Structure 1
């Protein structure tokens, strides 16, 4: 099956004379319907990588193909229609005086007929559970609600791929859970490809596959189970660990024999109950 995204040997410099490129020889592919999380410390190149995928930045060398089309200056606008981006601060994305106006903005720019636009706006707001807020002012919404409206604006454009560029980093835990649940629901309904650029390990745990960036290079990739099982190696790279992995390390330091494999919170509770608390 042809990947929906394929990067081959991507290099990128913000300045030609930079001694340390922002991206160095990065190659990977993504299949349609995958959820990919890209993690790494600040300055690792993960956000730069996201911006090359939809043509906001053009690489110095290497090739990027989206939907089977090799990205270039001629087709960059066609590629961008396939890739929607949700950024860190939803306030920076709002342009409409009401929620429904804001969701309609991108559709107007694409020249979508009014009758179809009304249907898409209603459908997108229902998907993110914000239909009852259609006539509200965006400024009066909570952080999680604002981000869901930003997602609706992208969903209304019906892209094949959604990139979340630190989209939950400014939210409280409740708002973060709202946004992740919304993305999960839309992904399942529409077979969307999701790329999550994140510091939030719990968000990354939702992915099918995790890519780890360090100093502009792709240094590791695999399932959440594989990546999180690296334990202290991730901490040494300046990354966090999911709570179950932190708990395993703490228990091991106290002489408890813990499983080697990665445990979700649910599996950790089951293991604690059957193997530790019932002894």
Structure 2
């Protein structure tokens, strides 16, 4: 299978005389339908990398290919049609006076006929479970609801790739769960490729693969099991640990033997129930 995204030895500096590159010789690929989480501390380069993939900035060196198209000034708009971005603050994305107007905005810019536009807006709102709010003002929604509307605006455009750029960082736990469950459902239904730029380690644990950034470099990649089982190494890089790994440390301090392998939250609950609480 040919990757939908190929990053080939890209580097980037915000200023030519800048001593340190924001991105330094990064290479990786992403397959269609894959969920990839990119994690790293502030200033690690992960958001700059997302902007490079979407063509918001062009790399100083190297090559970015999306859906078989090499990123350059000639085809940047064709590439952006393949990629939808959901940003940290949904309020910054709203332009319509109602939810349905806002979801329709991108379709209007693309010149989609009205009959098709109405159909796609209604379908997108149904997908994110926000149909009953379509005549409401976006400002009156909760944080999680606003972010689901922002996702609907992207889904209506039918992209091949969705990039979540810290899209859950301003939400409470309930809002985060709403957004992640929505993305998981859409991914399965449409075989979407998802790139999650996040500080939320528990969000990253839902991905198929995790890329770890540090000081503009890609320092590690692997499955969540491979990345998060390295515990102390992540902490040394200024990153957090998923809740199950934190709990394992606490249980070890209490003298309880815990599995050495990485466990998801579901796996931790099952282990606690069968191996600890039932004893």
TM (norm. structure 1) is: 0.98
Equivalent in the alignment of 1:209? 209
Equivalent in the alignment of 1:158? 158
Deviation at 1:152, TM superposition (A): 0.4
Deviation at 1:273, TM superposition (A): 3.0
Residues in 2 aligned to 1:219 and 1:108: alpha-carbon distance in whole angstroms = 41
Residues in 2 aligned to 1:32 and 1:227: alpha-carbon distance in whole angstroms = 22
Matches within 5 A, 1:137-216: 137-216=137-216
Residues in 2 aligned to 1:10 and 1:22: alpha-carbon distance in whole angstroms = 10
Query: Aligned Cα RMSD in Å?
Result: 1.0
Equivalent in the alignment of 2:119? 119
Equivalent in the alignment of 2:249? 249
Residues in 2 aligned to 1:78 and 1:69: alpha-carbon distance in whole angstroms = 8
Equivalent in the alignment of 1:100? 100
Deviation at 1:202, TM superposition (A): 1.1
Residues in 2 aligned to 1:274 and 1:110: alpha-carbon distance in whole angstroms = 55
Give the SS at the match of 2:244. Answer: helix
Residues in 2 aligned to 1:278 and 1:116: alpha-carbon distance in whole angstroms = 56
Equivalent in the alignment of 1:228? 228
Deviation at 1:176, TM superposition (A): 0.7
Equivalent pairs counted in the alignment come to 279
* Segment drifting more, 251-260 vs 99-108: 251-260
Equivalent in the alignment of 1:80? 80
Deviation at 1:236, TM superposition (A): 1.0
Residues in 2 aligned to 1:43 and 1:135: alpha-carbon distance in whole angstroms = 39
Residues in 2 aligned to 1:176 and 1:253: alpha-carbon distance in whole angstroms = 30
Deviation at 1:266, TM superposition (A): 1.9
Residues in 1 aligned to 2:245 and 2:63: alpha-carbon distance in whole angstroms = 37
Equivalent in the alignment of 2:266? 266
Equivalent in the alignment of 1:71? 71
Deviation at 1:39, TM superposition (A): 0.3
Name stretches of at least 5 consecutive residues in structure 1 with no aligned partner.
none
Name stretches of at least 5 consecutive residues in structure 2 with no aligned partner.
none
* Segment drifting more, 98-107 vs 252-261: 252-261
Deviation at 1:252, TM superposition (A): 2.4
1:235-260 per-position Cα deviation (integer Å, ceiling 9, x unaligned): 11111111110111222234333211
Give the SS at the match of 2:116. Answer: helix
Deviation at 1:267, TM superposition (A): 1.5
Deviation at 1:269, TM superposition (A): 2.2
1:4-47 per-position Cα deviation (integer Å, ceiling 9, x unaligned): 00001010001111111000000000000000000000000000
Residues in 2 aligned to 1:127 and 1:234: alpha-carbon distance in whole angstroms = 36
Equivalent in the alignment of 1:12? 12
Residues in 2 aligned to 1:20 and 1:250: alpha-carbon distance in whole angstroms = 39
Residues in 1 aligned to 2:83 and 2:274: alpha-carbon distance in whole angstroms = 45
Deviation at 1:205, TM superposition (A): 0.9
1:100-128 per-position Cα deviation (integer Å, ceiling 9, x unaligned): 00000000000111111010000000000
* Segment drifting more, 260-269 vs 86-95: 260-269
Residues in 1 aligned to 2:277 and 2:90: alpha-carbon distance in whole angstroms = 44
Give the SS at the match of 1:146. Answer: helix
TM (norm. structure 2) is: 0.98
Deviation at 1:264, TM superposition (A): 1.2
